[in-house]
Amino acid sequence: MSNYEPTFDWYTVVSGSTTFAQGDLLNNFPIIVPPISLTEARDKAVGHESRQQATLNLFNVIVMTQSCDFIKLGDKDQVILCPRWDYSKLADKEPKFKGKGGWKNLINGRFIGAHIINKCDIENYEFDYQVIDLQRIFSSPLSVVKQVAIDQGSRVRLLPPYREHLAQAFARQFMRVGLPMDLPRDFPYHK
């Protein structure tokens, strides 16, 4: 087994009040999950009694909003977040990620909607390899994101070029297009 030494640092730690950047990691972020039954949710919205309610779940997340966008965002504007999972725990639940084959597919970007980032060895901020779920996207007002960050005290930030690699994986999630060429090749109008 070879000892792998990254060329660049993967992470730094920033204070809770530091301006946000894509790649900031927040822990125990509150996300409201609506009830699964749309009929019951709709009935509740129009004043009918419902047995199901939305739930508040806590997720470890990573900020996906582009860093430059934070300059113009107000407290009511939405910040895009994706959940992240410890690789070892996820691999126990999802066999496709398990073992050498699953690991190789993850690091080579062969799983649509999943991206892996390195473990963190910064003292007091340690965590396992993280799998970012690019198919489960949350948004939250900037004011809530700020409050969670302040309450957390400080946070880990993914650094370039790994942040850009994550952004590229996120973009690939949405740019996959397979269209037939059914438009006319020649200009269809008269001169």
d(CA 52, CA 174): 32
Among 19, 5, 59, 58, CA closest to 157 = 19
Contact 11, 157 (CB under 8 A): yes
Contact 120, 87 (CB under 8 A): no
**Mean pLDDT rounded to a whole number for the chain:** 89
pLDDT in tens, 113-168: 999 999 999 999 999 999 999 999 999 999 999 999 999 999 999 999 999 999 99
- Report residue 25: phi and psi, to 5°: -105, 130
What pLDDT is recorded for position 22? 97
The model carries a pTM of 0.82
The residue ranges of the chain whose pLDDT is under 70 are 1-6, 37-52, 176, 178-179, 181, 191
